[in-house]
Chain A
Amino acid sequence: MDDDYNVLPTGFAEDDAALQYPDDDGEPLAVVPNEDNENQRLGEVRSALEEVGYGSRKRRLNEIEEVFDKFGNRSHPMDWHMRMDPVSADVLEKSQMNAAKRRALENLERKINEIIVETGPSDNQDEPYSDEQTIQNLCEEEMLRRYKRKKEIMKNPPSDGSKWTGLSDVANGQRFYIRTFLDDSRYQPFVETITRQATQSRIGYRAFQSIYQEAENIRKQKEKLRIKEQEDEFSRLIDETSVFESQPSQHAESSLWVNKYEAKNFSDLLSDNTVNRNILTWMKMWDECVFRRKIDDLLQSLGEREREVLQMDNGKIRRPVFKMLLLSGPAGLGKSTLARIVARQAGYSTIDVNASDARTVGDLNKVLEGAVKTSRTLDADQRPACLILDEIDGTPIDTIRHLIRCLQATGKRAIRRPIIGICNNLFTPALRDLRGVAWCVQLGATKQDALAKRLEEICDKEDLRCDLSTLRKLCELCANDMRHSINTLQWVAVAARKTKRTIGMKLIHEVIDKEKGGAASIFEHWSSILELSKHADTKGGIKSVRERVFAIEKISYEHGGEDRFVSGLHANYLVTLPIGVIRKASYCFLFYDDIQKIIHSLQNWSVQKYLYSFFVSLHLYVATHARVPIAYPQLEQTMFQKLKDSEETINAVRACGQSSKGASRNELLLDLLPSVVSIVQPAIKPMNESLYNQRELSIFNQTVSIMCDYGLTYTATMVKDQVNWLFSPSIDILTMFPLDEPKRPYLANATRQIIAHKITLMRVRLAANPVQQSVTGKVSTNTEKIKDIIDSENKKKKNYLLEN
């Protein structure tokens, strides 16, 4: 018995079944057979059930039975806490009942379908009376026989107080009453009987059909009622919103649309489908370890590309090579939602650790012990846990190191559940080492079309009138940030209701501007510095210099210390003016830089009051009558991000290379790396290593050893659905520029793969043979050192003796 890996025999498969079959305990007649998507859903459900282990449930149940001896005591007292409670009798019974019910329903459904195909709707009118008679008799008979109870379908409402539903037969203007049972388990034999009898008699077919249709009508009515209720509720909500300000506390519970319309299912996710599927595959690869389920089929079904990234290790119980998934991407992409949904879809409960929790090594250990290394036994939620480390980029570095150690542990201390990390910036220095051991997935921006569609759906549900193109604009303004756009939409909606306006571009702009910068937007301030037309007086003339200076001084007090404001001016000040004027304007920025430097390095804030002269002089130099198209300073932000990435790359090179250690940054950047990039990419043909001739082999080996020296290698990365072998650290991005006519060597993917393999081998060899390595041989402990000293002293003495 393997105690390391515990079995988790739980009822979650049954839970799932119950979740997926809401119709089971509703009216049996309400099953809608004739809708395509219904069938499709059924198919999905079935496959989901199979995936979650419905099929293998029996086997696992057997396994549990082994744990109990004949007295019902547990045979392994040592590991009782590792095991879940066996499925209790009533749960089991219920699930079997559910299965039986489902089977009956499926039969019924199929037969109804057949009937509809066989008999046209016209048949229905044939002998309505006799049909009704028959069905009544049949039911009565059956009920009597089974439950000693009379008449479940009656002509008068039941008098014994049980619930009932009214039915009217349109054909002959009669009304029936059906007694409804609270105990839904009784439906099952009822349905079965009806099914059997319906199949036995020709008359029964039609009777059945008519009842079915009536049931359908009831269902529709109920639906209508529900919708009406919703609308009432909604109008009530709207009324409340209008008095929102007066009673804020009443309305506090999750009315935020971001939460309300969060993706609930896997199919709701807006992120790239392939990525989602790959992540789910990775979660499923844990099944062998977590659920003890064979996953060979899954592994075989993987495509060529995925197989390179998603691999299993060869432990006793196989786990994926990457024990952790590191999701990264800009804010508002739905990373956390994706992680939660994927975990749930794969049958895990989630434990969320984020920046609001303390995250020292001790805390992490506690969470790891509780969630990932053992199983939870005493909780109500019996599903295994999946740890989600949100906002991991803010974690202290020693915690990350500890996490890496845990990920790499084997044996008793091994990680047994998947861990998902989420961060905004993958290239945070703290995550450098983690990137090597985790499977890094960078999520791309949400597609604008999909996001706009989702917003439209929300609009429909919230009864807002808004066209798709406006929503598209909204997405654009929010930079396709899902959370931000939904939030904005909600505020726009509130504003629209308040002012009784329709949602249009103007309103959206207003709301966004208000959100971003007080009364007037930052864009307006930018243009009032760069444009004269913003300073027009009532007669259409331009105000005097004196007045303008005052106006700009006011703006400068508002934005003075704001770097972003100056960046915006810098991005937009290059208007079509003589270059001499622009030259003078560019000096203004130098003045600004000087003042900022004094403020920051000397902490001398008293000079800040002179900043306004920068804004004023810039205005006086460059302000024109022409309209200046103001753009947000994107370029500077992207460059800042790139700068951070580059810094990270260069630090990685300096940290991991043998030869590059000690080399200064400029040395590497200006001389070494640009040459190294071309030196390690000689023209080698991609083929088997044994086919190279002497010369090619020497070049190949040379390349491998140089790359090894500098700590470089290639790693497989997914780029647009394709696996590419890219430099890691990515020195090619660092050294290669978007030249007009790039003339640069480039190795084929296949060759890169061979080289990467060789490098791995070489590193292993170096680690095994420390003699060849230049780092080792260091006397590590004091005792050894002292031993060395004594040895050398002894030698000296000997020499001395010999000499004398």
Chain B
Amino acid sequence: MALWVDKYRPKELLGKDGVDYHIEQAEHLKILSADCMPHLLFCGPSGAGKKTRIKCLLRELYGIGVDKTQLIMKPFTTPSNRKLEIQTVSSNYHVEMTPSDVGIYDRVIVQDLVKEMAQTSQIEVSSQRNFKVVVLCEADSLTRDAQHGLRRTMEKYANNCKIILCCESLSRIIEPLQSRCIIINVPAPTNEQMTKVLTEITGKEKFSIPPSILQKIIEKSEGNLRRAILTTEAFKVENEGGISANAQIPTPEWEIYIQETARLILQKQSSDMMLKVRERLYEILSRLIPPTVIFKKLLEYLLPSCPSTIVREVVSEAAKFEHRLVLGQKAIFHLEAFVIAFMDIYLSNASKTK
């Protein structure tokens, strides 16, 4: 009785509870785990199943004991003597954490906590594997310093401790780290694979969903299987009384809100409208939606209404501002600059065509 995403999450690499797609890769992983396992670097888009595969792999390595996890807040002290805590999920055999939770202090995490864990060896060498595993999530948001800090640790304590990195894009992982790991690319499932998974789940839940709606859900979730399953469940809950022909597919509200904002931008290009848009941007930012996601979605909703002549310019501006945003500090400046730039391009194009 849990959410479908948790309930139907594959538990093993292969077999009855095995993963539903990328079977060949799963076999590959199984062979890796049977042998001496190297450091791994999982990369792939969100919702493709990276974490699921990591969990299955850990289960393959250590058996069912790895599921008995507990949540521990690990304290650490920064060089400036600030006492901070990081949340870790750990079992007897592995530790999982997201160093980017503590922002610029991730270097300390890597240098202190990870190193410390790597230095102590496993107790039960006789019955179990002689190494433990540290899973670092969101490795792509690790700062350079932290990544460099990992290099030596990965080499020196490789016998005791294997590190699994999990990231969305390889581009932000420094070369030396990439070369120390085996890179496991987990691409998003194809629409057919997703359809298969969803029909299987709805079949088990005895919930009949029209294929057309299923197709719509899959299209909307853009290869994010987690979102597809969640949307299906939300759809089921919302249409408990029976599915009407024009039933709406539940969309997260932040997406709707960004869509509305894009509509406002296209409606009128003036400084007054900019003030309204700014208020909305603040609203989105204050709910912790990552600014890069806002950029992506905003562009996605703006582009269809752009004449083809300005598309190139708009996209290049968006790329420029997103890049500067990642380097900069205050997201609102960059978002706003992009919206104003778009307004300018859009308006001058409109006046030209007249």
A interface residue numbers (CB < 8 A to B): 397, 570, 574-577, 579-580, 582-583, 586-587, 589-590, 592-594, 596-597, 600-601, 635-636, 638-640, 642-643, 646-647, 650, 654-655, 659, 661-662, 664-667, 669-672, 674-676, 678-679, 681-683, 699, 701-702, 705-706, 709-710, 734-740, 743-745, 774-779, 785, 788-789, 792-793
Give the distance to chain A from B68, nearest Cβ to Cβ, in Å.
5
Q: Does B37 contact A (CB under 8 A)?
A: no
B288–A734 CB distance below 8 A: yes
A-B contact pairs, 22 of them (CB 8 A): A582-B340, A582-B344, A583-B344, A590-B337, A593-B328, A597-B327, A639-B285, A659-B2, A665-B98, A669-B287, A672-B5, A674-B254, A675-B234, A683-B241, A709-B3, A738-B257, A738-B283, A744-B253, A774-B67, A779-B92, A788-B124, A789-B127
Closest to A796 in B: B127
> Number of A-B pairs whose CB atoms are under 8 Å?
216
A647–B333 CB distance below 8 A: no
Decide yes or no: A682 and B340 within 8 Å by CB, A643-B286, A674-B253, A774-B68 being known contacts: no
A775–B253 CB distance below 8 A: no
B interface residue numbers (CB < 8 A to A): 1-3, 5-6, 46-47, 51, 67-71, 73, 85, 87, 89, 91-92, 96, 98, 101, 104, 123-124, 126-127, 137-138, 224, 226-227, 230-231, 233-234, 237-238, 240-241, 248, 250, 252-254, 256-257, 260, 269-272, 274-275, 278-279, 282-290, 293, 324, 327-330, 332-334, 336-337, 340-341, 343-344, 347-348
A671–B124 CB distance below 8 A: no
Taking CB atoms, residues of chain B closer than 8 Å to A583 are 337, 340-341, 343-344
Taking CB atoms, residues of chain A closer than 8 Å to B98 are 664-665
B87–A655 CB distance below 8 A: yes
Taking CB atoms, residues of chain B closer than 8 Å to A586 are 333, 336-337, 340-341
How far, in angstroms, from A601 to B79 measured CA to CA in the complex? 15
How far, in angstroms, from A591 to B47 measured CA to CA in the complex? 36
Taking CB atoms, residues of chain B closer than 8 Å to A596 are 329-330
A593–B333 CB distance below 8 A: yes
Taking CB atoms, residues of chain A closer than 8 Å to B270 are 576, 579
Taking CB atoms, residues of chain A closer than 8 Å to B288 are 643, 646-647, 650, 665, 669, 734
Taking CB atoms, residues of chain B closer than 8 Å to A779 are 92
How far, in angstroms, from A580 to B85 measured CA to CA in the complex? 47
Taking CB atoms, residues of chain A closer than 8 Å to B101 are 665
Interface centre among A597, A659, A706, A737, by most B CB within 10 Å? A737
Closest to B259 in A: A739
Give the distance to chain B from A778, nearest Cβ to Cβ, in Å.
5
A670–B254 CB distance below 8 A: yes
Q: Does more than half of chain A's interface fall in helix, strand or loop, or is it mixed?
A: helix
Closest to A681 in B: B237
Which residue in B67, B123, B137, B233 is a CB contact (below 8 Å) of A675?
B233
How far, in angstroms, from A701 to B51 measured CA to CA in the complex? 28
Which residue in B87, B238, B340 is a CB contact (below 8 Å) of A678?
B238
Closest to B168 in A: A666
How far, in angstroms, from A778 to B269 measured CA to CA in the complex? 61
Give the distance to chain B from A530, nearest Cβ to Cβ, in Å.
13
B275–A735 CB distance below 8 A: no
Decide yes or no: A671 and B226 within 8 Å by CB, A577-B271, A735-B252 being known contacts: yes
Taking CB atoms, residues of chain A closer than 8 Å to B227 are 671, 675
A661–B123 CB distance below 8 A: no
Interface centre among B1, B69, B289, B293, by most A CB within 10 Å? B1
How far, in angstroms, from A337 to B212 measured CA to CA in the complex? 64
Taking CB atoms, residues of chain A closer than 8 Å to B254 are 670, 674, 735, 737
How far, in angstroms, from A646 to B254 measured CA to CA in the complex? 14
Taking CB atoms, residues of chain A closer than 8 Å to B278 are 574, 635
B46–A667 CB distance below 8 A: yes
How far, in angstroms, from A86 to B172 measured CA to CA in the complex? 77
Taking CB atoms, residues of chain A closer than 8 Å to B124 are 785, 788-789
Which residue in B89, B92, B250, B256 is a CB contact (below 8 Å) of A661?
B89
How far, in angstroms, from A31 to B128 measured CA to CA in the complex? 91
How far, in angstroms, from A737 to B252 measured CA to CA in the complex? 10
Give the distance to chain B from A147, nearest Cβ to Cβ, in Å.
75
B275–A670 CB distance below 8 A: no
Which residue in A594, A662, A678, A683 is a CB contact (below 8 Å) of B89?
A662
Give the distance to chain A from B148, nearest Cβ to Cβ, in Å.
16
Give the distance to chain A from B338, nearest Cβ to Cβ, in Å.
9
Which residue in B67, B224, B332 is a CB contact (below 8 Å) of A671?
B224
